[in-house]
Structure 1
């Protein structure tokens, strides 16, 4: 049966409010959760950027839900530090934590003052980071000289079983590459044909583990309100790579998004006041083989969304 979880957006909501939201989501019937790991929001209107790793410890303690995080080792995080963070949470909460690894965005990584590498270099850097992280989680002492450097690193606190390292991809090409190393795949909602291409690329390349999907959506009591929320909060997130990879500041995203329309936002966000319509979209995604689906309401007030989807949508998709 497909798992339906809630996505906690640190870019948009204060961590205290996010913690209350995931606790309420658990009570409402959501059975998993995941979160973003950002240093900067996508827009000044979003206005938050809590530290995901601190919050994850609190959220795992406050609920019984399994949690995942999408993170980018290699620049902002040295891979040994990422491995230590993953290992500690997995040791404290066995079987309840996974991490998805991606190549990152300049908006988070430029803060180190280092240059932002080309995409092919970032891909090679992530390959090295995965190798380092897996070795450390296996209890090995690691030395590595490459795009990242590691000197005699060893994790002293280890989980009984290494958690899953998931590959993050939005294109079939990246999905095929993830199949070479990942324990599963995560992507974001797109037209069904595109999602099928991504999923098939991963499976056809021998990819193992579950397919995960993050679904951006906007729901409100009226269609007008749902559209207003989506446009206000998520219009800076309509841009395809490399734009979304390479812009550095929230102000930059706000400038390039000044003339984005509601119709453009609805191409990347499921916008409707009709709960049955949302349930049908989720069933469509599940039919493609996505086994864990995480719902990201792009508004900043999660309580109405959690309550409405818990009462009316989850029963429809889990029946």
Structure 2
């Protein structure tokens, strides 16, 4: 069984629209909602990037049922892990326990803005591991002192913590990050349906029942040509792969890296139009790989209403029949 969620993509919509769409997505029947945490959009054409945590606070007050999750936030450079712990604990209280904390090693795109440079992947994973230790310790509500290679915490205490701390998930893209997740996370996050990574996480963590949360972009439109054009305009960077996407420093870099990507290349990898069977075909590899949760990204900040209406009437019932 797979549960299907909705993505609040901060790179393509302003804060007011995101809050409105979150409420509508819950009414439409989505089982959970995730939010991206960016300082900068991938491409200039996307045109937005409000603060995800401010948006989450507002979303917590216009939703009642759906779990909310960061997909994902980086607790190492732009944010100190003690700050993330406080934000996540507050969200746990505001949502009545509906908040899940998704963490990742970050992208240069967002983290370079604080002027600390961009370390190699192995160092980023070391930093993430220490950050999770700090966050988990602060979730206890006790005073925390911590001295690591990358972080120091001096006599820190969270004064408002939920009775049950938010579960922590870690994004994986390869063997090293899968081991990190197995050692530190309550659930796994990934954007590609790679079953080997899920098998590794299950084996090394000893938590085969832990949630596995994926994400799938689609470009819904009754005009297939318009859907393809929009997907190419705003999501042509997606095919670069995460090893590339983690390293590029800004929208100009992503524009350059994707300048030779054609519309047909995008339409081959992202379902475009209103063909439900095409979406089911795209979902199937995630189900077969062992994902328990899959969040859709509807491409185009101004094209959410039609997608949510179609999802409620057509897509979600079809997904329930196929994967429920």
State the TM bucket, normalised to the shorter chain.
over 0.9
Q: Which residue of 2 aligns with 1:56?
A: 56
CA deviation after TM superposition for structure 1 residue 57, in Å: 0.8
Alignment correspondent of 2:212: 211
RMSD of aligned alpha carbons: 1.7
1:177 corresponding residue in structure 2: 180
Contact preservation (8 Å) 1:33, 1:294: yes
Counterpart in the other structure of 1:85 = 87
Q: Is the 8 A contact 1:189 1:216 kept in 2?
A: no
Structure 1 stretch displaced more, 210-219 or 32-41: 210-219
Match of 1:168 among 166, 171, 186: 171
1:281 aligns with 2:282: yes
Return the offset for 1:272.
Answer: 4.3
The DSSP-based 3-state class of the residue aligned with 1:179 is: helix
* Equivalent residues of 1:184, 1:207 under 8 A apart: no
Which deviates more, 17-26 or 281-290? 281-290
Aligned residues: 315
TM-score of the superposition, structure 2-length normalised? 0.92
TM-score (norm 1): 0.93
CA shift, 1:207, in A, is 5.1
SS of the residue corresponding to residue 116 of structure 2 reads coil
CA drift of 1:287 comes to 3.7
Distance 2:25 2:93 in 1: 25
Unaligned runs of 5+ in 2: none
TM-superposed deviation, 1:248: 1.2
Q: Which residue of 2 aligns with 1:201?
A: 200
Question: Is residue 103–residue 168 contact of structure 2 (8 Å, CA) maintained in 1?
Answer: yes
CA positional deviation for 1:140: 2.6
The 5 Å alignment of 1:137-176 reads 137-145=139-147, 146-176=149-179
Q: Alpha-carbon deviations, 1:34-67, whole Å to 9, x = none?
A: 0000000001100100100000011111011210
TM-superposition CA deviations, 1:197-226 (whole Å, max 9, x none): 222221122353111111111121132222
Per the alignment, residue 43 of structure 1 pairs with 43
Cα deviation per residue 1:109-150 (whole Å; 9 max; x = unaligned)? 111111111111110000000000000001232222221121
Alignment of 1:264-303 (within 5 A): 264-266=265-267, 268-300=269-301, 301-303=303-305
Q: CA deviation at 1:172?
A: 4.1
Identify unmatched segments of 5+ residues in structure 1: none
Which residue in 2 is equivalent to 1:96?
98
Structure 1 residue 21 displacement after superposition = 1.3
Q: For 1:308 and 1:10, how far apart are their aligned partners in 2?
A: 22
Residue 297 to residue 189, structure 1, CA distance change in 2 (3 Å): farther
Runs of 4+ in 1 over 4 A off after TM superposition: none
SS of 2:184 mapped into structure 1: coil
Distance 1:173 1:55 in 2: 32
Q: Distance in 2 between matches of 1:11 and 1:39?
A: 9
Partner of 2:77 in structure 1?
Answer: 75
Q: Give the distance between the partners of 1:201 and 1:143, measured in 2 at CA.
A: 33
